[in-house]
């Protein structure tokens, strides 16, 4: 089932509790990250429990699919990991139906946070990178920012090692948390591949299990008791 069209409006910048900013879409009453802390949420859910989970198992060439490029924060943090570890090679595909204006993202000032400032130039390269083509940001990190609808995009089968599932919550995008959406994830991920998401709702867990994922609930980021990590069987 395709999602109903969103009543999308250009988002506004709002602060979060860890000192980083996020975006809020007033027409959906949704923020792109947790207001408890945008940076710490992305680091915990997608880097620690996703990327590090894969690399700690010995994987050094990681193909990442991101559901929702959004502010580019998850991609930026992933890029930083590839810079820190030159032996790590990352190919990332990130889909976004409603791209945010680059000026809005740059005004969020992720690149000026003390912990991220050393990679300010790389962040700007990432945000200004062309859409719908593979762009090399560093020699061991390349990304294709895909401006398409997830449900109609032609994505490669059995391809990705890791999925960052970072769609808006079910209240705004119910279809993104149903079996039909996760069936696409099952089609594009490799056997043994991993999906991580900030969500922990029982209906989403059951939908993941129906399409072949083994789901575990693990501790979530600050402000959220649990999140899900799912491995495709």
CATH of the domain at 221: 3.40.50.150
Does residue 12 sit within a domain? no
CA distances from 194 to 48, 59, 119, 154, 230 (A): 13, 12, 27, 20, 6
Place of tokens 């699919």: 65
Does residue 33 sit within a domain? no
Does residue 20 sit within a domain? no
Does residue 14 sit within a domain? no
Lowest average pLDDT, out of 5-9, 53-57, 119-123, goes to 5-9
**178 DSSP 8-state letter:** S
Domains held by the chain: number? 1
pLDDT at 28 exceeding the cut of 90: no
pLDDT at 62 exceeding the cut of 90: yes
Confidence tier at 8 by pLDDT (50, 70, 90): low
Nearest to 67 by CA among 215, 230, 210, 224: 230
**34 DSSP 8-state letter:** -
Does residue 4 sit within a domain? no
Does residue 150 sit within a domain? yes
- Output the average pLDDT for the chain: 95
Nearest to 93 by CA among 31, 44, 175, 148: 148
Does residue 198 sit within a domain? yes
Which residues have C-beta within 8 Å of that of residue 165, sequence separation ≥ 6? 67, 185, 195, 196, 197, 199
Confidence tier at 67 by pLDDT (50, 70, 90): very high
Domain range enclosing 48: 38-232
Looking at residue 7, its pLDDT comes to 55
Confidence tier at 151 by pLDDT (50, 70, 90): very high
Model-level pTM?
Answer: 0.95
- Residue 73 Cα to chain centre, angstroms: 8
Does residue 64 sit within a domain? yes
CA distances from 189 to 184, 197, 217 (A): 9, 15, 20
**131 DSSP 8-state letter:** B
Looking at residue 4, its pLDDT comes to 42
SS3 of residue 185 by DSSP: helix
């Amino acid at each position: 089932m395709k999602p109903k069209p969103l009543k999308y409006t250009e988002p506004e910048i709002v602060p979060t509790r860890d000192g980083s900013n996020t975006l809020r879409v007033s027409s959906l009453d949704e923020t792109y990250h947790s207001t408890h802390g945008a940076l710490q949420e992305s680091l915990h859910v997608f880097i620690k429990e996703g990327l590090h989970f894969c690399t700690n198992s010995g994987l050094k060439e990681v193909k990442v699919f991101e559901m929702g490029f959004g502010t580019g924060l998850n991609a930026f943090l992933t890029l930083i990991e590839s810079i820190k570890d030159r032996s790590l090679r990352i190919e990332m595909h990130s889909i976004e139906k409603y791209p945010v204006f680059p000026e809005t993202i740059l005004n969020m000032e992720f690149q000026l946070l003390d912990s991220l400032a050393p990679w300010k130039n790389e962040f700007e390269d990432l945000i200004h990178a062309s859409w719908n083509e593979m762009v090399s940001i560093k020699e061991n990190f390349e990304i294709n920012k895909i401006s398409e609808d997830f449900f109609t995009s032609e994505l490669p089968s059995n391809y990705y090692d890791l999925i960052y599932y970072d769609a808006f919550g079910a209240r705004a995008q119910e279809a993104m948390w149903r079996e039909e959406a996760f069936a696409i994830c099952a089609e594009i991920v490799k056997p043994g591949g991993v999906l991580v998401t900030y969500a922990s709702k029982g209906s989403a867990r059951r939908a993941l299990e129906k399409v072949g994922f083994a789901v575990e609930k693990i501790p979530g980021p600050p402000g959220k008791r649990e999140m899900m990590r799912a491995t495709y069987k």
